[in-house]
Amino acid sequence: MKATLLIELLTEELPPKSLAKLGLSFREQMQKALAEAGFIDAGNEGRWFATPRRLALQFDECLESQPDRVIEKKGPAVASGVGADGTPTKALEGFMRSAGVEFAQLEKLNDGKAEYFVARQKKTGGRIDESLAGMVEAALKKLPIAKLMRWGAGEEQFVRPVHGLMLIHGARIIAGKVLGLDSRNVTRGHRFMSVGVIDIPRAENYEAILEKEGRVIASFDKRRAMIREQLDHAAGKLTWLQDEALLDEVTALVEFPAVYEANFEPEFLAVPPECLILTMKANQKYFPLMDGAGLGAKLTHRFLVVSNMKVADPTHIVTGNARVVRPRLADAKFFFETDKKTPLSARIGKLSRVVYHNKLGSQGERVDRLVKLAATIARRIGADPMQAEQAALLAKADLVTDMVGEFPELQGIMGRYYALADGEPAVVADAIQSHYQPRFNGDTLPQGPVACAVALADKLDALVGFFGIGQIPTGDKDPFGLRRAALGVLRMLMETPLALSLPELIDDAAASFAPELFSGEWRVASAEFFRERLRHMLRDAGHDPKAVDAVLALDPARIDQVPAKLAAVKAFALLPEAEALAAANKRVGNILKKVDGTVSPQFDTALSILKEPAEQALATTLIVVKADADAAFERGDYTASLLALARLRKPVDAFFDDVMVNVEDAALRANRLGLLATLHHAMNRVADISMLSS
């Protein structure tokens, strides 16, 4: 018999930031277990529910009993499973015991590589009552829970104490024990608006009954949509600050959402809006209301509260939330006014007491390095080195302010406000804020040459410093955010764009460190790190992997030139001659690799040396094509440089058809190798086109 299966755990308040992940993971684990056991179809994904005090699942069309199945178990190879006398070896005997079969019951199968023994057993389908509780227990142990809790006198553990369990198939309670609790058909609704204990007579009615009697919207996605709709309505002509992470968090905090508007005194708007917004979002989970949208939007003194209570008169809720937020805003105002009394320049000395890393010194020592490096980079890109030095000098000073001490997320942002209050030029203040950018994937880049110089200095100093002392990211571990820093450097160089050599920038950054501090092949490791980050970045942007590999194979120093080189490779790949030239390039490369020493890319054009018509034709054509390709390359027209190579198709094919390279005549062999080396050099200035060969 098929019916709806319901599973619910009633808990104490679950961690809001991970609630959705817990619900999804629970669904995935149970769907997999039920499908593998044959109780549901593999495509039956079911539904998941998650509220602050429950995790629940619902699977329609769930069988009461599994279908009969044949269990197949693979054993040892036949060659190793039977001795010379035809009797089972110890390995095969162990397999037969584990599978519960006799020798006569074994079958033999050949997978194309070897013949092996197989044990097949017909297993009568069991009832879901026999295994459901165990499946739930196993699924719960696989959930992404960082820290488990114990409660009461028992040994059960979960992310929060569990106080209720429902296992229902259709109208029938499935007996079972999970986390020490027996299954029942009752649950609880909203803490204040529910009718009390709620009976669930049938599994398929769970969501509707919980909403009607319990005043709980069980579906996470439905609650989220309700909150978004109510926020839109309550905002009216204003705009609520869009924050998907905050929306997820408040969805996980309420069971029956209701949105109300509150406000604070307009005098607090004298504080930088970032401070007020962060206070409202991080501490109170409020949605600030903005007058306008986008970069021109201004913070108002009104905000929206997502409450867990829907009431006819929300006056107490509104005034209560306004009263709670006021001291937070007052603190922010106090921090701001107090911080402004001490100029950023007077705070620099305190950075010498702030440890950056035990091997890389203090923040003060780091600032000294940033000042030198930012000025060097500024000169390279035509920025004012004095402004770059001043921005780098003040860039970390806000770390020792009261506001950033309370809200570390505001570092850089507050530095800009304090710099402007100190009378610093806007270009210096802007560079202080944006030197942390890009903070995340898709974040805006620093604007202006001074800001770029300081931002590059900040990221390169971190990358070179940590690579130099061997703190290289491994696997998922990247405690110092070096992957993000590398991507930031690459994006700035490529998208701004900046005509800078990445190896030279790395050398500039390394020059500020004591040489004895570094050890190992850190330069090789850092170069490979940048190359792999660039490879992933370009592939994620949709570029053809072969084209990416072809361009990066030459280890380009100028990252700003990479997009143009990719476009050139794309255009070249469309040529009818491309495949043949790519294959020829690979062949030439293989020939040159087998030669002892390095073959110089030059050859004698005298007819006394170029004896064969095919090599004469290749030499003549190559001289003209190389000149055109080199000229295009030097002016940055990489597409024209590569497309010029199309004229080499016929003479190259004829050369390999008619000319032997490794002849006995040493002078002739050397000249032909020189001709091929010249060809190889001409074909691989933009990219290693041999990688386009299929």
What is the predicted pLDDT for the residue at 396?
A: 97
In terms of domains, do 87 and 51 share one?
no
Band (255; pLDDT cuts 50, 70, 90): very high
Structure tokens at 1: 């018999």
> Does the pLDDT value for residue 353 go beyond 90?
yes
In terms of domains, do 379 and 317 share one?
no
138: helix, strand or coil: helix
What's at 134, amino acid-wise? Answer: G
What is the predicted pLDDT for the residue at 624?
A: 93
User: Each residue of 8-53: pLDDT tens digit?
Assistant: 999 999 999 999 999 999 999 999 999 999 999 999 999 999 999 9
Rounded to the nearest 5 degrees, what angle is found at the Cα of 643, between the Cα atoms of 637 and 577?
160
Say if 549 falls within a structural domain. no
In terms of domains, do 517 and 627 share one?
no
CATH of the domain at 632: 1.10.730.10
What is the predicted pLDDT for the residue at 363?
A: 96
Phi-psi region of 382 (alpha: psi -120 to 50; beta: other; left: phi over 0): left
Say if 520 falls within a structural domain. yes
* Contact status, residue 25 vs residue 144, Cβ threshold 8 Å: yes
The pLDDT of 668-681, averaged and rounded, is 90
Q: Is 657 exposed, middle or buried (0-12, 13-18, 19+ CB in 10 A)?
A: exposed
Say if 550 falls within a structural domain. no
User: Each residue of 192-242: pLDDT tens digit?
Assistant: 999 989 999 999 999 999 999 999 999 999 999 999 999 999 999 999 999
Structure tokens at 277: 């917004």
- Of 172, 196, 214, the one marking the end of a domain is 214
What is the predicted pLDDT for the residue at 126?
A: 86
- C-alpha 360/C-alpha 353 separation (Å) is 13
Mean pLDDT of the chain: 93
Say if 671 falls within a structural domain. yes
136: helix, strand or coil: helix
In terms of domains, do 482 and 533 share one?
yes
Q: Shortest CA distance to 398 belongs to which of 427, 367, 377?
A: 367
Residues 6+ apart with CB under 8 A from 594: none
The pLDDT of 260-273, averaged and rounded, is 95
Phi-psi region of 519 (alpha: psi -120 to 50; beta: other; left: phi over 0): beta
* Residue of higher predicted confidence among 100 and 158: 158
> Does the pLDDT value for residue 572 go beyond 80?
yes
Q: Is 527 exposed, middle or buried (0-12, 13-18, 19+ CB in 10 A)?
A: middle
What's at 184, amino acid-wise? Answer: R
Say if 118 falls within a structural domain. yes
In terms of domains, do 529 and 575 share one?
no
Residues 6+ apart with CB under 8 A from 528: none
Band (251; pLDDT cuts 50, 70, 90): very high
What is the predicted pLDDT for the residue at 85?
A: 81
What is the predicted pLDDT for the residue at 292?
A: 84
Say if 548 falls within a structural domain. no
In terms of domains, do 43 and 175 share one?
yes
* Contact status, residue 193 vs residue 215, Cβ threshold 8 Å: yes
Q: Kindly report the number of other CB atoms within 10 A of residue 459's CB atom.
A: 26
- Of 304, 339, 374, the one marking the end of a domain is 339
Q: Is 424 exposed, middle or buried (0-12, 13-18, 19+ CB in 10 A)?
A: buried
Q: Which 8-state DSSP code applies to residue 280?
A: I
- Of 214, 244, 259, the one marking the end of a domain is 214
- C-alpha 109/C-alpha 87 separation (Å) is 19
- C-alpha 629/C-alpha 470 separation (Å) is 42
> Does the pLDDT value for residue 510 go beyond 90?
yes
pLDDT above 70 coverage of the chain, percent:
100
Say if 553 falls within a structural domain. no
In terms of domains, do 606 and 680 share one?
yes
Structure tokens at 222: 């439905």
Band (643; pLDDT cuts 50, 70, 90): very high
In terms of domains, do 643 and 506 share one?
no
* Contact status, residue 273 vs residue 299, Cβ threshold 8 Å: yes
Structure tokens at 330: 């007052």
User: Each residue of 359-407: pLDDT tens digit?
Assistant: 999 999 999 999 999 999 999 999 999 999 999 999 999 999 999 999 9
Band (119; pLDDT cuts 50, 70, 90): confident
Q: Kindly report the number of other CB atoms within 10 A of residue 501's CB atom.
A: 16
CATH of the domain at 455: 1.10.3210
What's at 630, amino acid-wise? Answer: D
- C-alpha 465/C-alpha 369 separation (Å) is 11
- C-alpha 679/C-alpha 572 separation (Å) is 17
In terms of domains, do 525 and 601 share one?
no
Burial state string for 612-638 with b = 16 or more CB within 10 A and e = fewer than 16: eebbbbbbebbeebbebbeebbeeebb
In terms of domains, do 416 and 484 share one?
yes
Q: Is 571 exposed, middle or buried (0-12, 13-18, 19+ CB in 10 A)?
A: middle
> Does the pLDDT value for residue 70 go beyond 80?
no
Cα 448 to chain centroid distance, Å, stands at 28
- C-alpha 412/C-alpha 458 separation (Å) is 12
Band (559; pLDDT cuts 50, 70, 90): very high
Q: Structural domain tally of the chain? A: 5
- C-alpha 400/C-alpha 53 separation (Å) is 41
* Contact status, residue 46 vs residue 18, Cβ threshold 8 Å: no
Cα 572 to chain centroid distance, Å, stands at 32
What residues make up the domain containing 110? 69-123
Band (261; pLDDT cuts 50, 70, 90): very high
User: Each residue of 274-300: pLDDT tens digit?
Assistant: 999 999 998 899 999 999 877 778 999
167-171, 188-192, 231-235, 606-610: segment of lowest average pLDDT: 606-610
Q: Kindly report the number of other CB atoms within 10 A of residue 490's CB atom.
A: 20
Q: Shortest CA distance to 303 belongs to which of 233, 241, 352?
A: 241
- C-alpha 339/C-alpha 347 separation (Å) is 10
Say if 551 falls within a structural domain. no
Name residue, tokens 């500039």: 508
In terms of domains, do 284 and 365 share one?
no
What is the predicted pLDDT for the residue at 1?
A: 85
* Contact status, residue 10 vs residue 53, Cβ threshold 8 Å: yes
Structure tokens at 195: 């009718």
Decide the pairing of beta strands 162-169 and 2-11: antiparallel
The pLDDT of 112-117, averaged and rounded, is 83
Name residue, tokens 């860039």: 395
Q: Kindly report the number of other CB atoms within 10 A of residue 378's CB atom.
A: 25
What's at 58, amino acid-wise? Answer: Q
Report how far apart, in Å, the C-alpha atoms of 419 and of each of 279, 284, 389, 402, 458 are: 22, 29, 14, 15, 18
In terms of domains, do 322 and 434 share one?
no
- C-alpha 389/C-alpha 500 separation (Å) is 19
- Max Cα distance, the chain (Å): 105
What is the predicted pLDDT for the residue at 665?
A: 87
Q: How many residues does the chain have?
A: 694
